[in-house]
Structure 1
Amino acid sequence: MNSFKKRFGLILAICATLTLSTAYAETGTQTVQETEEGPVLAPIKTDEPTADRIQQLEDIAMYYYWHGGDLKKAEEEIFKGITLKGKYDVVEAAYKEATVLEPHNTDLKISLASTQIIQKKVSEALATYRQILNLEPDNFNANLLYGVYSKINGDEKAYKQSVSKLRQIDNHKTKEFLQKFEVTEGILKTKLNTSVPGKLPAKDHAIVILGYALADDGTMREPLIERLKAGLAVAKQYPNSKIIVTGGVPKEGVTEAEAMNEWLIGNGIAKERIIMENKATDTVENALFTTAILQKEGLKDVTLVTSASHMRRGLTTFYEASRFYDEMNAVNTNRAFTNMVYLDYPSIEEAQKVTKDETLVIYRDLLRTSGIWQYPGMQR
């Protein structure tokens, strides 16, 4: 109970810092300072047990993973198709401090590297993974992450060396990941549809519309409204298809799925056609939680609807989630995916180009969907 009270007090104190401009706010044994540039970690105290200090640093990291950032800025600086909006410099600082307090802890280093990846600091992340591998040469996940991000960073030699090492550690598991990568490379070449696809299945077909972060007042932003318009076009042409709206982060008590559901009903869709998935907090959870619904409802094929900048990542996570659920339930759904996009690029030609930044985000979410958490024990 004391531990719970301390952690709850920590979060309240962190929230309080968001209303301050210059003063330090106490957060248990750690402080966060609000400056004109944003929140920064203050010097840590040394009169608490190490475990408590590390836990508080992780709590700070997770708070700022979710809060304090600007969505538009995040899309400009990280990747257009991403909706994360935390203060990742603070998250990184917290995990750096935690790894100093406990340099033996591999999970803390994984979390630090993940935050560096989010910020596109690939070289720094690779150096962090290398520290792990120096200490634990047979760490499968660290070898995998190091290899994948090395390849994206243009180091094919390091990738091949990692694959060779992975085969030595667990050849079967390595083959499975190589198959996932092959599927993903195919998805990167997917033709994006700005018109409703033809000849979609008349039976057991679902239109899945992916959510987008709501404004603070609970209203839908333009990208989500445009996704709904695209989904509505598909729904009108295929009236027998179920519609799944997915997105669970609430604003003013309203989730993305609830807002989407209300909009669709207001635009003539019968409420009986709509299924709400209102627990997902990001694309990976969109895929995992929606696939569970597909299995439960006996829905086979899917037309995925989202922004063009988000579609390849969405398809990657849904393919992997579908593969996993098939394996878990010992079935072979042979699920087919089609797509319909809201074009958030100047032209379809530009939308078809896959940048290094997009590739980084796609592979990061593939690995997360496959069960490798960004922040072990804390955040998928």
Structure 2
Amino acid sequence: MIKLKSKLGLILAICGTITVSTAFAATDVKTTEETNPNPIIAPIKTDEPTSYRLKQLEEIAMYYYWHGGDLKKAEEEIFKGITLKGKYDVVEAAYNEATILDPHNLDLKFSLASTQIIQKKIPEALKTYRQILNLDPLNFNANLLNGVYSKINGDEDTYKKSISTLKQIDAHKTKEYLQKFERTDATIKEKLNTSVPGNLPQKNHAIVILGYALADDGTMREPLIERLKAGLSVANKYPNSKIIVTGGVPKQSNTEAKLMKEWLISNGIDEKRIIPEDKSTDTVENALFTTAILEKEGLKDITLVTSASHMRRALTIFKEASSFYDKMNAGNSKRAFTNVVYLDYPSLEEANKVTKDEILVIYRDLLRASGIWQYPGMQR
């Protein structure tokens, strides 16, 4: 199989120059072959099947979602010198063009809305969700997402209408989501601990230290080292607890989990205590894959360790993952969650302030952890 990066090179070679329209530029960029008179990404060859053109656009979107590409090089060689604000500009543009090529495909519209949410463009995302609902009024996910993001945007009436519709579509599923929201609202209000809690379980307890993206040279950056220091203090106080280190994105043949394990061993922790989770690429996967380890190892309770700015989201997602495993296995783990944070704010008072942007990201990842993919069929 050709790797995605190689595929992108092939795409560009086949398609020729890709340009961005006046939606991103001060002046028009003329092309010799366009799919519409005011294209966002062009040219996509018109002598290829629609399915092939859509695949090209989705692969471009996913390449930039993951890797970002060299924006400067993209400006000079692909986008003809047009200034790009960031990789998600390209992802959004690709999905927007895809929805033009296939306006009936709702998954493409969901992907477009997700990219708008990532960029905190809530009004634009809500417009996209409304388009889906205009075409499919009883679409559960569209009603749910439109309602949640409307509420975050200050529109309580639309949220209530969405919940009412959802109850008519699937009352049981709606009740489950309302319980998730109630649990999340309570989690957001939880106290952040900068010191190790007393009276943690002495048996079947795990300390879970969340990773942080490695530097390009494959070394650990300061936030990850600080998280490890916080985790070490918990590990030293509770010597019977297992330690799970998470993070699987490789840089220079290293993963976060690998380097975290090595750091802990170099700081006196017995290797037998440490369990690496080295497949995850983000916090949602941290939670899902770590919970599978907890189930396998018979570990009931966890103390989560991460940065203060990350903790509320992490706790929300881990609780959702634990709830899902309970449901899947027809059990009730009654898992208790505690937290210890590396304080990456000027003060604990600042850390306890929850912004609209943080709530947006918390709910976005809660919904992802609940099984709603950001990019249907492409990326969780």
1:13-69 Cα deviation digits (max 9, x unpaired): 57xxxxxxxxxxx253364469xx99x944322121100110110011111111127
Amino acid at match of 2:249: V
Larger radius of gyration: 2
Amino acid at match of 1:155: D
Match of 1:19 in 2: none
Match of 2:14 in 1: 28
Match of 2:75 in 1: none
Q: How far has the Cα of 1:10 moved from its partner?
A: 2.5
SS where residue 167 of structure 1 aligns? Answer: helix
Match of 2:318 in 1: 318
Q: How far has the Cα of 1:11 moved from its partner?
A: 2.7
CA 1:213/1:271 → structure 2, altered by over 3 Å: closer, same or farther? Answer: same
SS where residue 339 of structure 1 aligns? Answer: strand
Q: Are 1:120 and 2:153 counterparts?
A: no
SS where residue 319 of structure 2 aligns? Answer: helix
Amino acid at match of 2:7: L
1:316-362 Cα deviation digits (max 9, x unpaired): 00000000001111111100000000001111001001100000000
Amino acid at match of 2:221: R
SS where residue 201 of structure 2 aligns? Answer: coil
For the residues of structure 2 that align with 1:172 and 1:277, how far apart are their CA atoms? Answer: 33
Q: How far has the Cα of 1:9 moved from its partner?
A: 4.2
Match of 2:305 in 1: 305
Question: What pairs up with 1:2-151 in 2 under 5 angstroms?
Answer: 9-13=6-10, 26-29=12-15, 31-32=17-18, 41-68=41-68, 87-151=87-151
Question: What pairs up with 1:279-298 in 2 under 5 angstroms?
Answer: 279-298=279-298
Match of 1:247 in 2: 247
Match of 1:77 in 2: none
Match of 1:336 in 2: 336
Report the aligned-residue RMSD: 2.0
CA contact under 8 A between 1:246 and 1:257: conserved in structure 2? yes
Match of 2:355 in 1: 355
1:254-294 Cα deviation digits (max 9, x unpaired): 11100111111111111100000000000000000000000
For the residues of structure 1 that align with 2:13 and 2:188, how far apart are their CA atoms? Answer: 44
SS where residue 190 of structure 2 aligns? Answer: coil
Q: How far has the Cα of 1:5 moved from its partner?
A: 5.5
Question: What pairs up with 1:145-184 in 2 under 5 angstroms?
Answer: 145-184=145-184
Question: TM-score, normalized by length of structure 2?
Answer: 0.88
SS where residue 180 of structure 1 aligns? Answer: helix
Runs of 5+ unmatched residues, structure 2: 26-39, 71-84
For the residues of structure 2 that align with 1:28 and 1:89, how far apart are their CA atoms? Answer: 22
Amino acid at match of 1:28: I
SS where residue 304 of structure 1 aligns? Answer: strand
For this pair of structures, how many residues does the alignment match?
349
Amino acid at match of 1:11: L
Question: TM-score, normalized by length of structure 1?
Answer: 0.88
Question: What pairs up with 1:197-276 in 2 under 5 angstroms?
Answer: 197-276=197-276
For the residues of structure 2 that align with 1:7 and 1:259, how far apart are their CA atoms? Answer: 27
Using the aligned pairs only, state the percent identity. Answer: 76
CA contact under 8 A between 1:300 and 1:333: conserved in structure 2? yes
Runs of 5+ unmatched residues, structure 1: 15-25, 71-84
